[in-house]
Amino acid sequence: MKARWDIFCSVVDNYGDIGVTWRLARQLVAEQGCAVRLWVDDLRAFERMCPDIDVQVHQQWQEGVDVRYWPGDWPATEAADVVIAAFACQLPPDYMEAMAACERTPLWMNLDYLSAEDWVVGCHGLPSVKFKGVQKYFFFPGFRPGTGGLLREAGLLEQRDTFQRDAAARQQFLQALGVFPAAGARMISLFAYENARLASWLDVLAADGRATHLLVPEGRILGDVQRWLGVDSLSVGDVQQRDALTVQVLPFVRQEQYDRLLWCCDFNAVRGEDSFVRAQWAGRPLLWHIYRQDEDIHLDKLDAFLELYTEGLSPAAKTALVTLWQAWNADGDMAQSWKMLLEHWPEVTAHAEKWALEQGSRTDLATALVQFYVNWI
């Protein structure tokens, strides 16, 4: 009999939480043979990830996953064998009572936020709180051995390599999105939160001796792009050019299409957690806009990742990369730091490919979760 999994996702902000849980749910079904219910409290946010979703229907099947609306008035529901509270969301009290009433206690895990901080290895897999005899465990995704790893579908890097080697496939994909870059243009994707430093970066791209085609999926950064261009509005399909820089607004696409967009680009600016991980699998240099937290504790997470990610780079290339990321996340000088990075472009590109291979050699998150359950039984 298949193990039954319940994944709870409370959509707090943006699309990172639903992006992670939707990928995880599909992978558990497709690759691990699990029966998965995905409980989501905001189906309209989910619709951006899965356009086939019917936001009026509270129970439906999507790609083998039993998608359920998580209502405020919780219905009587039998607890699953494995219960995942994504990103420390609070389970419905009545569901917790149902867990406690089970003849066989479910495995209850808090799937936490991704971090490269040292303490994560020590806390991964440890017991947390109890509810009437039901033990909850910490489960941390991560980049180091001893953590839960990263979301990575079977054969993902091989698919990426095949796509990146096939110029015709890349051209066909881009043309389907209405993208026709000039020959030899540098391709950059930009998915970020609002950022006051964007203008200085766009200024230096526009003044560059090499053409840049900037692809901007619709999102929160669009207002900053619009102000820099000095236009009244920007919408999907718009293409604007200033000197060496062409800016194009793309629609919010399915996750598989977004992966391919990242694979097409020479450089990817991403945000949050889901797109951050997918940009790493692209094997291309990247820039992470980390989600801001109170008292700037997000900068500790940023520094921890940079310390790990830059291992093996030459001192000059490491300085260039760290300076760029810190400028983007802490109101620094994007113009000068971008020029510094360009001086080390071949090295940081080779390093990004090596990093993806290294991370890809480790157990993926879905497999690690299933192994944790099997060991727990």
* 17 classed as catalytic: yes
Using alpha carbons only, what angle is made at residue 367 by residues 364 and 373, rounded to the nearest 5 degrees? Answer: 140
Active-site pick, 66, 224, 273, 274: 273
Integer angstrom CA distances of residue 7 from 15, 211, 261? 16, 45, 28
Q: Do residues 116 and 144 touch, judged by C-beta distance below 8 A?
A: yes
Annotation says 353 is catalytic: no
3-class SS of residue 167 = helix
Vertex 375: Cα angle to 371 and 377 (nearest 5): 120
Structure token pair of residue 149: 């790893």
DSSP state string for 76-143: P----SEEEEETTPPPPHHHHHHHHH-SSPPEEEEE------THHHHHTT-EEEEETTEEEEEE---S
Question: In angstroms, rounded to a whole number, what is the distance separating the alpha carbons of residues 274 and 21?
Answer: 9
d(C-alpha 373, C-alpha 377), whole Å: 6
Map tokens 């419905």 to a residue: 92
User: Phi and psi at residue 285, in whole multiples of 5°?
Assistant: -55, 145
Which of 6, 17, 112, 347 is catalytic? The answer is: 17
What are the catalytic residues? 17, 273
